[in-house]
Amino acid sequence: MARVQDFLGLKRVVTEKHFYFNSTKGFPCLMKSEGRSSPHCLGKTKGRNHPHIDPAAIERLREFYRPFNARFYQLTGINFGWP
- pLDDT at residue number 39: 80
Greater model confidence, 6 or 38: 6
Annotated binding-site ranges: 46-50
pLDDT digits (tens, 9 = 90+) for 28-83: 888 877 777 788 888 777 767 788 999 999 999 999 999 999 999 999 998 989 88
Q: What does pTM read for this prediction?
A: 0.53
Residues at the binding site for 3'-phosphoadenylyl sulfate are 46-50
Query: Which of these, 18, 42, 45, lies nearest to 31 by C-alpha position?
Result: 18
Q: What is the structure's pLDDT at 27?
A: 84
pLDDT digits (tens, 9 = 90+) for 65-76: 999 999 999 999
C-alpha dist (Å) from residue 46 to 21, 26, 60? 14, 10, 27
